[in-house]
A and B are shown apart, each in its own frame.
Chain A
């Protein structure tokens, strides 16, 4: 029996060909849609209800958060702060983190900021580095050129964990009070959206929208107060996968690696600029460090 499409008119070759072309196109597009679905949900039958994995992961994190191993590292950082160390054998006691020598409470939530004595905008790690150099005599150039496994870099992370923990629960107040800070914010924003590397990634590829994830891991939206507050405010953090505390500098270095970018220089302007961007976006949100990450 002839199909309705072909019956009413005498079948002219062009029209027949067109009809078949349309049908085939419709069929192919349906296949493509199915394939896209398969990529997103490979085992549709065995997938848990939407949102239940997120709930399960949240429960997993909750079970560990109350007794966060990071607290052990905060204790170590506190001990280091008061210890006479380095070539000059002095303690860091009077290191000025922005609120005056040795003042911790609220110091981290106002970093990065411009410092008159170094004439530059500094984040927590770079400020600790300059204090370690100026007060204790450590060679900051050497430390910058080494890597995160260097014992004094590890100590720097412990100090950072301690200082950040003293601002836990306080709102971020990262300043944009002068030209230098403003310039760093703009540079950070530009870097955030700058696509580069073999995969043409930028920070924004992963971090500029809500509901993005890699496998079961949510990716915070760093362009919003909530996302930046959560992400920026939870580093330094204890990482379960490495059993160690990472600072934001270390997190950024790993982001660069995952984007197939070259390794960033520790405490460089580029890394600080990104922290200025995230920190300012986080303003008003409450700091949660030290955090707990997988």
Chain B
């Protein structure tokens, strides 16, 4: 069960800045536990951003992205009522999609 992302939009003259805070452990696979063994990598691998259903950006992430990832990008040519949707998928097969409307 994944926790919701927080997506904040800021639109100026048809350009919408999208700020996404995701809830994820992002275990790097570099740390050792108290038993001395490597804590297995657990991270978001694939991210995609869609605008009114059309994919406008994708990303591949490694364990080097910080815990509770933050990402910011901007979509051109948006109008009020447009839908911005963000999806992430991690290496354990978990995924999450959240969406917001441009005001």
Contact = CB atoms under 8 A, between A and B. Distances in A.
B70 interface: yes
B4 A75 contact: yes
Contacts of A67: 8, 19, 21, 70
22 contacts: A67-B8, A67-B19, A67-B21, A67-B70, A69-B21, A69-B67, A69-B68, A69-B70, A71-B6, A71-B21, A72-B3, A72-B6, A72-B21, A72-B23, A72-B68, A75-B3, A75-B4, A75-B6, A76-B3, A243-B25, A243-B67, A243-B68
Interface of B, secondary structure class, is: loop
Nearest to B70: A67
Interface string B3-29: 110101000000000010101010000
A243 B69 CA distance: 11
B26 to A, nearest CB: 8
A67 B70 CA distance: 8
Interface of A, secondary structure class, is: helix
B43 to A, nearest CB: 13
Taking residues whose C-beta sits less than 8 angstroms from the other chain, chain B's interface range is: 10 to 19
Contacts of B68: 69, 72, 243
B10 to A, nearest CB: 11
A243 B70 CA distance: 13
Contacts of A69: 21, 67-68, 70
A69 B5 CA distance: 10
A76 B70 CA distance: 18
Given A67-B8, A72-B23, 14 more contacts: A67-B19, A67-B21, A67-B70, A69-B68, A69-B70, A72-B3, A72-B6, A72-B68, A75-B3, A75-B4, A75-B6, A76-B3, A243-B25, A243-B68
A75 B21 CA distance: 12
Interface in A64-80: 67, 69, 71-72, 75-76
A105 B76 CA distance: 39
Contacts of B70: 67, 69
A67 B68 CA distance: 11
A71 B4 CA distance: 11
Interface in A24-76: 67, 69, 71-72, 75-76
A72 B4 CA distance: 8
Contacts of A243: 25, 67-68
Contacts of A71: 6, 21
A243 B25 CA distance: 8
A142 to B, nearest CB: 24
A69 B8 CA distance: 13
Contacts of A72: 3, 6, 21, 23, 68
A63 B67 CA distance: 16
B50 to A, nearest CB: 21
Nearest to B25: A243
Nearest to A72: B23
Nearest to A238: B68
B68 to A, nearest CB: 4
A72 B21 CA distance: 8
Interface string B65-102: 00110100000000000000000000000000000000
